[in-house]
Structure 1
Amino acid sequence: MSHQGSSNFYGKGDDVGPVTETAHVQPKDGSTSDYGSGNGQGVGHEAPELVHSELLDVEARSKGQWFSYVKTKQFWIVLALGQVLAICITSTNTLSQLLALEGNSIPAFQTFFNYVLLNVVFTSWTIYKYGFKKWGKLILKDGWRYFILAFCDVEGNYFVVLAYRYTTILSAQLINFWAIVVVVILSLIFLKVRYHITQFAGIIICIGGMGILFGSDHLTGNNQFPAQNQVKGDLFALLAASLYGLTNTLEEFLVSKRPVYEVLGQLAFWAMPINGVQAAIFDRTSFRNAVWNGKVGGYMTGYTLILSLFYSLAPLMFRLSSAAFFNISLLTGNFWGVAIGKHVFHFNIHWMYPIAFVLIIIGQVIYFCRQSMMAESVKPWLGESQEGGHAGLGTARKRVERPSAVV
């Protein structure tokens, strides 16, 4: 993935023309936030320049200090957001398992309505912000990037749902391990991210906590639904993890440079036809043989709504932290899965579960223990002052320009 982006087309009512990636979007109301927060004031005015310099000085002084980031409110927001995302993905995994048990395993069709909902919300908002003409220019100029993002995302969702048809829920959840490896490798090579040794230590501790969870599952017999074809299912899960790692890294890159509504809108816009064609080709037999009843309808509705919430919150996580931390946050999903499974599948909660959960959280704290005040919200590919990024909610540039912002 190239670091140099093509020209962007933003705004509405102005002459159509390229805007370099160092500029951020100025919506109609003057706000620079993706989520509709107050009006922003760009760098270039005298007062913001002074604040800009002071904030960067504080950021520079905090580098190398122990727990400087952990003491900030932003860290606790990131930590809590990671657990919300873990619960979301665990809920969708549980609903996928319930659908499979009901005889309704339609991998491509199952995720189609998620893209429809995201398209209705975010593409509509993008067109409102840009206008049809500039939205069309965006598709022609940068559509190929979003097509790649959408393709990897669709196939990742397809193969992870397909994995549940052949393997156990425990094996399918192992995808988080390989996704972390893929994200770290891609970030090192393409995004020039340089991880501190404490970050690797934090990842290893989190994985150790996940190992305790797996050991507990083995002792209690949780997550051990019969596998139709263990090897085939595990290979599908591994492929899904690889695609997810690529998707997460690319999405982190894009949301640091573009408005969230543009990225999610374009993701859904391209994913809908890709997903629809795939469903028409590969899911025809499964669709005809599927069981349809009120229970299945409820599972599908819940799956769509929760997955859409997950997609909407993930960009904020990518901006505040990184694709790597996003994935280690999801490692607690197995704990939440058993907590949910206690009521749904009658799982037993072993005494080692709370220990494993705490160990994963400790690993996440250690991951950030040597981070500066703004930690991973400062992206190395955006420049020293983040001048190459978009000033949206959760970005370091937003915080530089508007220090009073919530995060």
Structure 2
Amino acid sequence: MFGKQEDIAVQEQSTDQKNIASSEASPVQPSEGTAAANGDGQDGSEVPVADIIDTKKKGFLSYFTTKEFYIILLLGQTLAIANTATSTFTTLLGMEGTSIPAFQTFFNYVLLNIIFTPYTIYRYGIKRWLRLMLKDGWKYIIFAFFDVEGNYFIVLAYRYTTILSAQLINFWAIVVVVVVSFLFLHVRYHWAQIGGILICIGGMGILIASDHITGSNGGKALDQVKGDLFALLAATMYGLSNTTEEYFVSTRPMYEVIGQLSFFGMIIMGAQAGIFDRQSFRDAVWNGKVGGYLTGYTLCLSLFYTLAPIMYRLSSAAFFNISLLTGNFWNVCIGIKVFHYSVHWMYPIAFVLIIVGQMIYYLGRTVLGEARKPWLGRNQEKGVSGLFTARRKIDTEVPHARRESISPA
């Protein structure tokens, strides 16, 4: 899946590699002070551009002074609210007597496909798009399969087990992301990242405990074992999907990735709905409310899918998943108005704990943060120079970084 990339992605790159190579071959050497600060250049070799940019803002908490950190924090909560909104619309559909998990999500892929596939064809041309489909289509089919099955099995899990159990098992997605990223993408986690993940999970545990105390999020399981197995399978699929998408959006344009995901996801989900949802479709209640709920669900989920690649570029699949842990808090906030929930005193504590965990996750990060992907090379030369990528930041700041790091001849 993670093989050599097509030259299609090069269209989004803004810097000519030959120019970079020639500038790096300049006879002007780094100053002695810069070489010592970066721990490189002692043998006359030039310090990598990414390292120069990372050391521009020194200090243990330097990453917290960048706008990227606050964009990530805000974006993570936006995604959590959008995800919570989809759960709310699903609950409202169930209250109306409509439960069509595959068919319900099918519209999301259709809408995304209508938006992003034509734009991809416009940017590449029909010949290059067909070439992309023939060359890399199998990779996107696997990616789409992971995503579709994650969406399908989590809905099935809620049919048979309690929401409390499903949320506990959903932590497995974070484990899958960390393990797959470590083994296949060569990601090495900082102690603060591990600590931040554990603190966020602790905050989520408090949320679940308060739900159990109040009895607002439990329910009675129809078949506990079957439901828990479905939840475990869904969490595994989500973890694989998230990691795969992080890889793709770091090496390809976002419109290509979303377009291919929605194109093949629409086909897979459509076939699945035709096979498994026929009886549910016939038994479903159809009225104006159901139409409104389906529309709301589709729009919120499409927004979620559109913003998620930005999070993967700015951060990582691991942070993406821990950001969604606050979803249960937002679920209760919406539930107070829609379902008349009551807020337990532990909820604000849990929410603050999860946010603190997210900040600790980034403790001591560099200026480039997790936007700098280890599988793309020291200067991200194997990646795409797109919106919010470390490659774009490096390309933009190369002249300024070199002026600061190279002494006059």
Indicate which of 258, 280, 297 corresponds to 2:291. Answer: 297
Q: Is contact 2:211-2:217 (8 Å) kept?
A: yes
Q: Which amino acid aligns with 2:245?
A: E
Partner Cα distance (1:246, 1:85) in 2: 19
Residue 274 of structure 1 pairs with residue 260 of structure 2: no
Q: CA deviation at 1:209?
A: 0.5
Q: Is contact 2:143-2:245 (8 Å) kept?
A: yes
Change (3 A) 1:163 1:151: same
Larger deviation, residues 304-313 vs 283-292: 283-292
Residue 5 of structure 1 pairs with residue 4 of structure 2: yes
Equivalence for 1:14: none
Partner Cα distance (1:229, 1:343) in 2: 30
Q: CA deviation at 1:24?
A: 2.3
**Superposition TM-score, scaled by structure 1 size:** 0.88
- 1:272-351 matches, within 5 Å, as 272-351=266-345
Change (3 A) 1:306 1:175: farther
Equivalence for 1:256: 250
Equivalence for 2:401: none
Q: CA deviation at 1:45?
A: 4.7
Alpha-carbon RMSD across the aligned residues, in angstroms, is 2.1
Q: CA deviation at 1:300?
A: 0.7
Partner Cα distance (2:99, 2:169) in 1: 19
Partner Cα distance (1:121, 1:297) in 2: 21
Q: Which amino acid aligns with 2:286?
A: W
Partner Cα distance (2:19, 2:383) in 1: 18
Identity %: 62
Partner Cα distance (1:5, 1:364) in 2: 33
SS of residue in 1 equivalent to 2:364: coil
Indicate which of 1, 5, 10 corresponds to 1:24. Answer: 10
Equivalence for 1:188: 182
Larger deviation, residues 54-63 vs 302-311: 54-63
Residue 385 of structure 1 pairs with residue 379 of structure 2: yes
Equivalence for 2:53: 58
Partner Cα distance (1:239, 1:320) in 2: 28
Q: Which runs of 5+ in 1 are unaligned?
A: 11-22, 27-31, 33-39
Partner Cα distance (1:295, 1:150) in 2: 30
Q: Is contact 1:176-1:331 (8 Å) kept?
A: no
Q: Is contact 1:43-1:49 (8 Å) kept?
A: no
- 1:138-149 matches, within 5 Å, as 138-149=132-143
Equivalence for 1:98: 92
Indicate which of 174, 179, 198 corresponds to 2:192. Answer: 198
Equivalence for 1:126: 120
Q: Which amino acid aligns with 1:229?
A: D
**Alignment coverage as a number of residue pairs:** 376
Larger deviation, residues 350-359 vs 159-168: 159-168
Q: Which runs of 5+ in 2 are unaligned?
A: 25-46, 399-409
Partner Cα distance (2:7, 2:289) in 1: 45
Equivalence for 1:111: 105
Partner Cα distance (1:331, 1:145) in 2: 29
Partner Cα distance (2:61, 2:332) in 1: 32
Q: Is contact 1:9-1:138 (8 Å) kept?
A: no
Q: Is contact 2:97-2:285 (8 Å) kept?
A: yes
SS of residue in 2 equivalent to 1:105: coil
Q: Is contact 2:63-2:362 (8 Å) kept?
A: yes
Residue 358 of structure 1 pairs with residue 352 of structure 2: yes
Q: CA deviation at 1:236?
A: 1.2
Partner Cα distance (1:84, 1:227) in 2: 31
* Cα offsets for 1:108-164 (capped at 9, x unmatched): 101000000010001010000011111000000000110000011111111112222
Greater C-alpha Rg:
2
Q: Which amino acid aligns with 2:193?
A: Q
SS of residue in 2 equivalent to 1:193: coil
Change (3 A) 1:172 1:92: farther
